[in-house]
Amino acid sequence: MPMKNTRLTIIAGPCSVDESNIDEIYDIANIRVNGKRVIAGTRVVGLKSRTAYSSYEGMGIDHDAYMQNQRIAVNGHLNKERLIPLPSVKIAERIHKDTGLLIASEIVDPIIQLSHYDGTLKGAFMPWNPAVNQLGWHINIMARFAEKNDWLVGIKNGKWIGEDVAKAESPDYSEVTSLEKVWSGLVTYSGETTRAPILIHRGVDVHDKKNFRNVPIHNTAGRVKLATGCRLYFDPSHVHGPRMKEEIVPATIRAMNMKISNDEYLYDGILIEVGSSRTDTEQHISINELAEIAERVREFREFASRPVA
């Protein structure tokens, strides 16, 4: 029986964008295998959801403008004409115009940030929630913008699983973990108003995680995929992190060959950090390593030139 989802979507780029790494995104866009383009989208993240707040360092190039917009919104003037432009949005528009790549971005504050994207990147944008933000109403707001602009919505799993990982990952584990309940629940907040959301698996933060940044939970992610009917992407950067950086390439290739059934692959896409960045650059793979992943994966899967909805 032929496999159902052979076409794989790759979204690759820096953890956060700035003027120093834009050229790398163009190099990523130019990766070819057998003369065909293999990269469907790139990361353009301008505001980071750091664990601890800093007045500037590591918060992204949109930080200053965002803080001004926050004050504008608090004072009752939340409309696009009043808001200070976010630098990353202009970068995103330029990259999409030049390359045709889908733009994907972590969104911390849907109302303020997506107001800047509203009316742009028609059908070519995918916002996703930070793993530390598991609020359904934020997903609902993103879905409203997505319906209006024909965007996709990505939903990352939360950082904490709430159960013993070994037990939860057992193939015969019959109970539903708290992570599965929340992740599946977030999908319901996207409602009927947009294309089916994309699940993004980025591992979980547990006590005994050894060298992983976040422990992968492939079986659990597979159960959420089956329960929701959504497509599933793998984020190997946040799973392996800086201490297992050398494992990112082989582990990603193995993950793309995992199956959820005899005729269906587990993962439909990859969201991966590539090149250099002022944030988390130690967990980025190189552009050459991304090309290696594409070459190896092409032996058993095809690539989508744009995300398959």
pLDDT in the model for residue 192 = 73
Predicted TM-score (pTM) of the model is 0.96
In this prediction, residue 10 carries a pLDDT of 98
7-303 homologous superfamily: Aldolase class I (3.20.20.70)
Distances (CA, A) of 177 to 117, 185, 211, 216: 35, 12, 24, 15
Q: Given this model, what pLDDT does residue 212 score?
A: 98
Return the closest-CA partner of residue 272 out of 233, 223, 227.
233
Distance CA 58, CA 29 (A): 25
Task: Give me the pLDDT at residue 54, please.
Answer: 77
Q: CA distances (Å), 8 to each of 197, 200, 233, 263, 297, in order?
A: 16, 14, 9, 15, 9
pLDDT value of position 1 = 64
Say what the pLDDT of residue 51 is: 82
Task: Name residues of the chain where pLDDT drops below 50.
Answer: none
Q: Is 34 exposed, middle or buried (0-12, 13-18, 19+ CB in 10 A)?
A: exposed
Contact 9, 297 (CB under 8 A): no
pLDDT score of 308: 66
Question: DSSP string spanning 229-273?
Answer: --EEEE-HHHHHTGGGGGGHHHHHHHHTT-EEETTEES-SEEEEE
pLDDT in tens, 184-235: 999 999 987 668 999 999 999 999 899 999 999 999 999 999 999 999 999 9
